[in-house]
Amino acid sequence: MPIRQKTLFETDGVKVRLSHYGASADMAPHTHGYTQLSWLLAGELAEQHGRHDIEVLGPSLGIKPADCRHANRYGRDGSLILSVNVEEDRLPGLLGQAGLDWGWARQREQRDGRDPVPALAALLAAGGEEAGWALNDLVARAFAAPADARDATPVWIDRVREQLREEENELDLEAVAAQAGVHRVHLSRSFARHVGMAPSLYRTRVRLARALRGLMEGQSAADAAYAAGFSDQAHLNRWIKRETGFAPRRLSRLLAA
């Protein structure tokens, strides 16, 4: 079966992979020795487990507990899938729960109508501090509940938002969660419900705004990227394009004084 696969991020007991499965390919019944969370980013697929056969046609999350026997059929144009593979002893710490059930569910969009999973995948691929936060945000999103419009934003979320906005150095996820008095998964889940985006994406958008300000004030792209906390100019350029829809040079020309 044609497959292209890249490990985007790996830490103790957790591996994040981006995989493209070939057109109309089949995968025979098999099991994994780890729990797997899978996001369908592009294409279609069908998955069979026991007497159940689910067709997945859009952005969706699939959950497969360890040793869950399943088979897959991929769409006529193939399937692009982001997966998080979690060893059993890491489940409680990473997910904040255990005993997951098999199944697929369509993913909710953010308030702006965009699916944040591709952006989180980009943060994971970039590595560095953002990757650890993005992994946590991705997992927390898998079990997120929508916010009630009547819900008041907890004070601790405002404090976390201030930390993400003001602190220019690296932030330790465990330390921020401990300071807030919550589990790190609960932190990401609640932050996304009340703010409308995951903490890692919020922090990156803050940095993007900081870099754009530098560009508008005459900094070079490389200096603006460094000052805002991006790994390099190319990293900044990708986020400008993703968030504004304009290539950096085009944006600079449009806004030239």
| Residuewise pLDDT in 10s, the chain (257 residues) | 678 889 999 999 999 999 999 888 899 999 999 999 999 888 889 999 999 999 888 778 999 999 999 999 998 788 889 999 999 899 888 877 667 899 998 766 555 556 788 888 888 888 888 899 999 999 888 776 544 444 678 999 999 989 998 887 788 899 999 999 999 999 998 998 888 778 998 888 888 888 888 887 888 889 989 998 888 899 999 888 887 767 788 777 766 65
Instruction: Specify the 3-state DSSP secondary structure of 236.
Output: helix
Q: Are 86 and 94 in contact (CB under 8 A)?
A: yes
pLDDT of residue 1: 66
Return the H-helix or E-strand segment holding 160: helix 155-166
In the structure encoding, which two tokens stand for residue 197, read together? 């985006």
pLDDT of residue 245: 67
pLDDT of residue 149: 42
Radius of gyration of the chain from Cα atoms?
A: 19
Q: What domains, with CATH codes, occur in the chain?
A: 3-106 (2.60.120.10), 108-246 (1.10.10.60)
Q: Are 76 and 57 in contact (CB under 8 A)?
A: no
The pTM for the full model equals: 0.71
**CA distance from start to end of the chain:** 55
Interatomic CA distance for residues 36 and 118, integer angstroms: 18
Return the H-helix or E-strand segment holding 6: strand 3-11
pLDDT of residue 84: 95
- Backbone phi, psi, residue 31, to 5°: -135, 165
Q: Which residues of 75-111 are buried (b: 16+ CB within 10 A; e: fewer)?
A: beebbbbbbbbbeeebbeebbbeeebebebeebeebe
